Amino acid sequence: MRIGVLTGGGDCPGLNAVIRGVVRKGVEAHGWEVLGFRNGWQGPIENLTRPIGLADVEDILTRGGTILGSSRTNPYKVEGGVDKIRQVLKENGVDALIAIGGEDTLGVAKRLTDDGIGVVGVPKTIDNDLGATDYTFGFDTAVHIATEAIDRLRTTAESHHRALVVEVMGRHAGWIALHSGLAGGANVILVPEREFNVEQVVEWVERRFERQYAPIIVVAEGAVPQGGAEVLHSGEKDAFGHVRLGGVGTWLAEEIAERTGKESRAVVLGHVQRGGIPTAYDRVLATRFGLHAVDAVAEGDFGVMVALKGTDIVRVKLAEATAELKTVPLERYQEAEVFFG
Protein backbone atom coordinates (compact mmCIF):
# COMPACT_ATOMS: atom_id res chain seq x y z
CA MET A 1 0.00 0.00 0.00
CA ARG A 2 1.15 3.54 -0.69
CA ILE A 3 -0.16 6.57 1.18
CA GLY A 4 0.30 10.24 0.43
CA VAL A 5 0.83 13.05 2.92
CA LEU A 6 0.71 16.82 2.52
CA THR A 7 0.82 19.97 4.65
CA GLY A 8 -1.39 22.88 3.66
CA GLY A 9 -2.03 26.45 4.78
CA GLY A 10 0.27 28.39 7.08
CA ASP A 11 3.37 26.69 8.43
CA CYS A 12 3.27 25.57 12.04
CA PRO A 13 5.65 24.11 14.64
CA GLY A 14 5.03 20.35 14.82
CA LEU A 15 4.26 19.63 11.17
CA ASN A 16 7.43 17.61 10.78
CA ALA A 17 6.59 15.61 13.90
CA VAL A 18 3.33 14.50 12.26
CA ILE A 19 5.14 13.52 9.07
CA ARG A 20 7.65 11.56 11.14
CA GLY A 21 4.87 9.75 13.01
CA VAL A 22 3.10 8.86 9.76
CA VAL A 23 6.27 7.52 8.15
CA ARG A 24 7.52 5.60 11.19
CA LYS A 25 4.23 3.79 11.77
CA GLY A 26 3.34 3.42 8.11
CA VAL A 27 6.68 1.83 7.26
CA GLU A 28 7.52 -0.03 10.48
CA ALA A 29 4.07 -1.31 11.43
CA HIS A 30 2.49 -1.83 8.01
CA GLY A 31 5.28 -1.98 5.47
CA TRP A 32 3.72 0.84 3.44
CA GLU A 33 5.40 3.33 1.17
CA VAL A 34 4.87 7.02 1.92
CA LEU A 35 4.80 9.64 -0.82
CA GLY A 36 5.01 13.29 0.15
CA PHE A 37 3.16 15.90 -1.89
CA ARG A 38 4.91 19.25 -1.98
CA ASN A 39 3.36 22.64 -1.28
CA GLY A 40 -0.06 21.72 0.04
CA TRP A 41 -2.82 20.94 -2.43
CA GLN A 42 -0.61 22.23 -5.22
CA GLY A 43 1.33 18.96 -4.95
CA PRO A 44 -1.42 16.50 -5.95
CA ILE A 45 -2.69 18.94 -8.58
CA GLU A 46 0.67 19.39 -10.32
CA ASN A 47 2.23 16.03 -9.41
CA LEU A 48 4.92 17.57 -7.17
CA THR A 49 6.13 14.62 -5.12
CA ARG A 50 8.98 13.20 -3.08
CA PRO A 51 9.23 9.74 -1.51
CA ILE A 52 9.66 9.84 2.27
CA GLY A 53 11.47 7.00 3.97
CA LEU A 54 12.76 6.38 7.46
CA ALA A 55 16.06 8.13 6.75
CA ASP A 56 14.21 11.26 5.64
CA VAL A 57 12.48 11.67 9.01
CA GLU A 58 15.36 10.68 11.26
CA ASP A 59 16.22 14.22 12.41
CA ILE A 60 13.11 16.29 11.71
CA LEU A 61 11.30 16.03 15.07
CA THR A 62 12.71 19.29 16.40
CA ARG A 63 12.58 21.24 13.14
CA GLY A 64 9.99 23.95 12.64
CA GLY A 65 8.14 24.43 9.37
CA THR A 66 7.56 21.49 7.06
CA ILE A 67 9.93 19.47 4.90
CA LEU A 68 7.13 19.21 2.33
CA GLY A 69 6.49 22.91 1.94
CA SER A 70 3.06 24.48 2.04
CA SER A 71 0.71 26.79 0.16
CA ARG A 72 -2.82 28.16 0.27
CA THR A 73 -3.84 26.46 -2.97
CA ASN A 74 -7.54 25.64 -3.27
CA PRO A 75 -8.22 22.79 -5.74
CA TYR A 76 -11.81 23.94 -6.10
CA LYS A 77 -10.59 27.28 -7.44
CA VAL A 78 -8.31 25.59 -9.99
CA GLU A 79 -9.91 24.55 -13.28
CA GLY A 80 -10.16 20.77 -13.26
CA GLY A 81 -8.36 20.69 -9.93
CA VAL A 82 -10.21 17.72 -8.45
CA ASP A 83 -9.89 15.64 -11.61
CA LYS A 84 -6.15 16.41 -11.66
CA ILE A 85 -5.80 15.23 -8.05
CA ARG A 86 -7.67 12.03 -8.83
CA GLN A 87 -5.44 11.36 -11.84
CA VAL A 88 -2.18 12.14 -9.99
CA LEU A 89 -3.09 9.82 -7.14
CA LYS A 90 -3.87 7.07 -9.63
CA GLU A 91 -0.63 7.57 -11.57
CA ASN A 92 1.40 7.38 -8.37
CA GLY A 93 -0.46 4.39 -6.97
CA VAL A 94 -1.57 6.33 -3.88
CA ASP A 95 -4.38 4.52 -2.06
CA ALA A 96 -5.11 7.14 0.59
CA LEU A 97 -4.12 10.65 1.54
CA ILE A 98 -3.33 12.22 4.92
CA ALA A 99 -3.91 15.98 4.85
CA ILE A 100 -2.41 18.09 7.64
CA GLY A 101 -3.87 21.56 7.94
CA GLY A 102 -6.36 24.02 9.36
CA GLU A 103 -9.92 24.92 8.48
CA ASP A 104 -9.20 25.61 4.80
CA THR A 105 -7.03 22.56 4.12
CA LEU A 106 -9.43 20.27 5.98
CA GLY A 107 -12.42 21.91 4.31
CA VAL A 108 -10.92 20.78 1.00
CA ALA A 109 -10.28 17.32 2.51
CA LYS A 110 -13.95 17.07 3.42
CA ARG A 111 -15.09 17.99 -0.09
CA LEU A 112 -12.62 15.55 -1.66
CA THR A 113 -13.98 12.79 0.56
CA ASP A 114 -17.47 13.64 -0.66
CA ASP A 115 -16.09 13.34 -4.21
CA GLY A 116 -14.84 9.82 -3.56
CA ILE A 117 -11.19 10.39 -2.61
CA GLY A 118 -10.01 8.72 0.61
CA VAL A 119 -8.64 11.40 2.95
CA VAL A 120 -7.81 11.47 6.67
CA GLY A 121 -7.30 14.88 8.30
CA VAL A 122 -4.84 16.03 10.96
CA PRO A 123 -5.66 19.35 12.70
CA LYS A 124 -2.97 22.02 12.51
CA THR A 125 -3.22 25.69 13.45
CA ILE A 126 -1.45 27.96 15.88
CA ASP A 127 -4.78 29.75 16.36
CA ASN A 128 -6.35 26.70 18.10
CA ASP A 129 -9.62 27.54 16.37
CA LEU A 130 -10.53 24.17 14.83
CA GLY A 131 -13.73 22.72 16.19
CA ALA A 132 -14.03 19.15 17.50
CA THR A 133 -10.54 19.06 19.04
CA ASP A 134 -9.52 20.46 22.41
CA TYR A 135 -6.12 21.60 21.14
CA THR A 136 -4.23 21.75 17.89
CA PHE A 137 -0.48 21.35 17.74
CA GLY A 138 1.42 24.58 17.13
CA PHE A 139 -0.73 26.54 19.56
CA ASP A 140 1.41 25.76 22.59
CA THR A 141 4.57 26.87 20.77
CA ALA A 142 2.96 30.09 19.56
CA VAL A 143 1.76 30.94 23.07
CA HIS A 144 5.21 30.19 24.49
CA ILE A 145 6.87 32.50 21.94
CA ALA A 146 4.36 35.29 22.52
CA THR A 147 4.67 34.98 26.30
CA GLU A 148 8.45 35.17 26.14
CA ALA A 149 8.18 38.29 23.98
CA ILE A 150 5.82 39.91 26.50
CA ASP A 151 8.24 39.09 29.32
CA ARG A 152 11.08 40.73 27.42
CA LEU A 153 9.04 43.77 26.42
CA ARG A 154 7.93 44.41 29.98
CA THR A 155 11.47 45.29 31.10
CA THR A 156 11.97 47.87 28.37
CA ALA A 157 8.49 49.28 28.92
CA GLU A 158 9.22 49.77 32.62
CA SER A 159 12.63 51.32 31.92
CA HIS A 160 11.18 53.99 29.64
CA HIS A 161 7.70 54.36 31.23
CA ARG A 162 6.01 53.48 27.97
CA ALA A 163 2.79 51.71 27.07
CA LEU A 164 3.58 48.75 24.86
CA VAL A 165 1.01 47.20 22.54
CA VAL A 166 1.84 43.63 21.47
CA GLU A 167 -0.03 42.43 18.37
CA VAL A 168 -0.31 38.65 18.06
CA MET A 169 -1.93 36.41 15.48
CA GLY A 170 -5.60 35.54 15.65
CA ARG A 171 -7.92 36.38 12.75
CA HIS A 172 -11.23 35.25 14.20
CA ALA A 173 -10.20 33.58 17.47
CA GLY A 174 -8.27 35.16 20.31
CA TRP A 175 -6.80 32.07 21.95
CA ILE A 176 -3.18 33.16 21.49
CA ALA A 177 -3.91 36.65 22.81
CA LEU A 178 -5.84 35.30 25.81
CA HIS A 179 -3.33 32.63 26.85
CA SER A 180 -0.15 34.63 26.22
CA GLY A 181 -1.70 37.72 27.79
CA LEU A 182 -2.62 35.85 30.96
CA ALA A 183 0.71 34.03 31.11
CA GLY A 184 2.63 37.27 30.50
CA GLY A 185 0.65 39.33 32.99
CA ALA A 186 -0.77 41.74 30.40
CA ASN A 187 -2.86 44.63 31.69
CA VAL A 188 -5.25 44.55 28.75
CA ILE A 189 -6.15 41.68 26.40
CA LEU A 190 -8.19 42.33 23.27
CA VAL A 191 -9.68 39.50 21.19
CA PRO A 192 -11.73 39.31 17.96
CA GLU A 193 -14.71 37.75 19.76
CA ARG A 194 -15.48 40.95 21.65
CA GLU A 195 -15.36 44.50 20.30
CA PHE A 196 -13.31 46.77 22.52
CA ASN A 197 -13.98 50.28 23.76
CA VAL A 198 -10.95 52.49 23.20
CA GLU A 199 -11.91 54.76 26.11
CA GLN A 200 -12.03 51.74 28.42
CA VAL A 201 -8.60 50.63 27.19
CA VAL A 202 -7.24 54.12 27.87
CA GLU A 203 -8.74 54.02 31.37
CA TRP A 204 -6.97 50.73 32.10
CA VAL A 205 -3.72 52.17 30.73
CA GLU A 206 -3.94 55.31 32.85
CA ARG A 207 -4.73 53.26 35.95
CA ARG A 208 -1.53 51.32 35.36
CA PHE A 209 0.51 54.51 34.94
CA GLU A 210 -0.99 55.91 38.15
CA ARG A 211 0.49 52.93 39.99
CA GLN A 212 3.90 53.82 38.55
CA TYR A 213 3.98 50.81 36.26
CA ALA A 214 4.14 50.55 32.47
CA PRO A 215 1.08 48.95 30.83
CA ILE A 216 1.27 45.99 28.45
CA ILE A 217 -1.62 45.57 26.00
CA VAL A 218 -1.96 42.33 24.03
CA VAL A 219 -4.21 42.55 20.98
CA ALA A 220 -5.12 39.89 18.43
CA GLU A 221 -4.75 40.97 14.80
CA GLY A 222 -8.48 40.50 14.24
CA ALA A 223 -9.65 42.56 17.24
CA VAL A 224 -12.13 45.30 16.35
CA PRO A 225 -12.92 48.59 18.15
CA GLN A 226 -16.57 49.35 18.83
CA GLY A 227 -18.14 50.86 15.74
CA GLY A 228 -15.01 50.15 13.73
CA ALA A 229 -13.71 47.41 11.47
CA GLU A 230 -10.77 45.07 11.13
CA VAL A 231 -7.49 46.75 10.27
CA LEU A 232 -6.32 45.39 6.92
CA HIS A 233 -2.72 44.95 5.94
CA SER A 234 -3.96 44.26 2.41
CA GLY A 235 -7.42 44.03 0.83
CA GLU A 236 -6.25 41.30 -1.52
CA LYS A 237 -7.87 37.92 -0.88
CA ASP A 238 -6.21 34.50 -1.00
CA ALA A 239 -7.65 31.38 -2.65
CA PHE A 240 -9.92 30.80 0.34
CA GLY A 241 -11.28 34.35 0.43
CA HIS A 242 -9.22 35.65 3.37
CA VAL A 243 -7.88 39.19 3.44
CA ARG A 244 -4.57 39.89 5.15
CA LEU A 245 -5.00 41.49 8.56
CA GLY A 246 -2.45 43.54 10.48
CA GLY A 247 -1.97 47.00 11.91
CA VAL A 248 -4.44 47.14 14.78
CA GLY A 249 -1.52 47.25 17.24
CA THR A 250 0.01 50.33 15.63
CA TRP A 251 -3.39 52.01 15.37
CA LEU A 252 -4.13 51.36 19.04
CA ALA A 253 -0.69 52.54 20.19
CA GLU A 254 -1.25 55.83 18.38
CA GLU A 255 -4.69 56.23 19.97
CA ILE A 256 -3.25 55.60 23.44
CA ALA A 257 -0.44 58.11 22.92
CA GLU A 258 -2.83 60.78 21.67
CA ARG A 259 -5.37 60.30 24.46
CA THR A 260 -2.95 59.90 27.38
CA GLY A 261 0.02 62.00 26.33
CA LYS A 262 2.21 59.05 27.26
CA GLU A 263 4.73 57.45 24.93
CA SER A 264 3.30 54.32 23.38
CA ARG A 265 4.89 51.78 21.06
CA ALA A 266 3.58 48.79 19.09
CA VAL A 267 5.33 45.48 18.51
CA VAL A 268 3.95 43.10 15.88
CA LEU A 269 5.10 39.54 16.51
CA GLY A 270 3.76 38.27 13.20
CA HIS A 271 5.29 35.13 11.74
CA VAL A 272 7.86 34.76 14.51
CA GLN A 273 5.01 32.96 16.32
CA ARG A 274 4.99 30.27 13.64
CA GLY A 275 8.70 29.60 13.46
CA GLY A 276 11.37 27.75 15.33
CA ILE A 277 11.55 24.64 17.46
CA PRO A 278 8.20 23.20 18.63
CA THR A 279 7.64 22.77 22.34
CA ALA A 280 7.71 19.29 23.88
CA TYR A 281 3.91 19.37 24.18
CA ASP A 282 3.46 20.10 20.48
CA ARG A 283 5.97 17.42 19.48
CA VAL A 284 4.11 14.79 21.49
CA LEU A 285 0.64 15.87 20.32
CA ALA A 286 1.72 16.07 16.68
CA THR A 287 3.37 12.65 16.88
CA ARG A 288 0.25 11.09 18.39
CA PHE A 289 -1.89 12.66 15.67
CA GLY A 290 0.36 11.15 13.00
CA LEU A 291 0.21 7.68 14.53
CA HIS A 292 -3.57 7.72 14.85
CA ALA A 293 -4.00 9.06 11.30
CA VAL A 294 -2.19 5.96 10.07
CA ASP A 295 -4.55 3.80 12.15
CA ALA A 296 -7.54 5.44 10.44
CA VAL A 297 -6.05 4.75 7.01
CA ALA A 298 -5.32 1.13 7.95
CA GLU A 299 -8.96 0.67 8.92
CA GLY A 300 -10.24 2.42 5.79
CA ASP A 301 -11.92 5.06 7.96
CA PHE A 302 -11.84 8.03 5.61
CA GLY A 303 -13.54 11.41 5.89
CA VAL A 304 -12.40 11.75 9.50
CA MET A 305 -10.01 13.96 11.44
CA VAL A 306 -7.97 12.79 14.40
CA ALA A 307 -8.70 14.99 17.43
CA LEU A 308 -7.72 15.48 21.06
CA LYS A 309 -10.48 14.95 23.61
CA GLY A 310 -9.17 15.30 27.13
CA THR A 311 -6.02 13.19 26.94
CA ASP A 312 -7.34 10.77 24.31
CA ILE A 313 -6.95 10.86 20.54
CA VAL A 314 -10.30 10.17 18.86
CA ARG A 315 -11.77 10.46 15.38
CA VAL A 316 -14.41 12.94 14.33
CA LYS A 317 -16.05 13.52 10.98
CA LEU A 318 -14.36 16.17 8.85
CA ALA A 319 -17.78 17.75 8.42
CA GLU A 320 -17.99 18.22 12.20
CA ALA A 321 -14.40 19.46 12.48
CA THR A 322 -14.88 22.18 9.86
CA ALA A 323 -18.49 23.15 10.62
CA GLU A 324 -17.59 26.17 12.74
CA LEU A 325 -14.58 27.84 14.30
CA LYS A 326 -13.81 27.37 17.98
CA THR A 327 -13.72 30.85 19.45
CA VAL A 328 -13.04 32.19 22.94
CA PRO A 329 -16.24 31.94 25.03
CA LEU A 330 -17.37 35.11 26.78
CA GLU A 331 -16.95 33.56 30.22
CA ARG A 332 -13.30 32.69 29.51
CA TYR A 333 -12.63 36.28 28.53
CA GLN A 334 -14.44 37.64 31.57
CA GLU A 335 -12.21 35.52 33.81
CA ALA A 336 -9.23 37.51 32.52
CA GLU A 337 -10.81 40.94 32.96
CA VAL A 338 -10.11 40.95 36.70
CA PHE A 339 -6.43 41.42 35.81
CA PHE A 340 -6.98 44.39 33.49
CA GLY A 341 -5.64 47.76 34.49
Active site residues: 127
Q: Which residues pair with 101 in a beta bridge?
A: 123
Nearest by Cα to 51 from 63, 73, 30, 67: 67
Known binding-site positions for substrate: 125-127, 162, 169-171, 221, 265, 271-274
Q: Is the Cβ–Cβ distance between 121 and 305 less than 8 Å? A: yes
Helix (H), strand (E) at residue 182: helix 175-183
Alpha helices in 31-74 (DSSP H): 42-46
Amino acid identity of residue 184, one-letter, is G
Nearest CA-CA partner of 113 in 130, 127, 99: 99
Q: What share of the chain is helix, strand, coil (3-state, %, to 5)?
A: 40, 20, 35
**What DSSP string describes 78-147?**
STTHHHHHHHHHHHTT--EEEEEESHHHHHHHHHHHHTT--EEEEEB-TT--BTT-S--BTHHHHHHHHH
Q: What residues form the annotated binding site?
A: 10, 103, 125-127, 162, 169-171, 221, 265, 271-274
Q: Which residues are annotated as a binding site for Mg(2+)?
A: 103
Pairing, β 243-245 against β 232-237: antiparallel
Q: Which residues pair with 121 in a beta bridge?
A: 99, 305
Q: Which residues are annotated as a binding site for diphosphate?
A: 10
DSSP string, 231-282: PEEEEEE-TTSPEEE--HHHHHHHHHHHHH-S-EEEEE-GGGGT-SPPPHHH
d(C-alpha 180, C-alpha 183), whole Å: 5
Q: Which of 162, 67, 126 is nearest to 270 (CA)?
A: 126
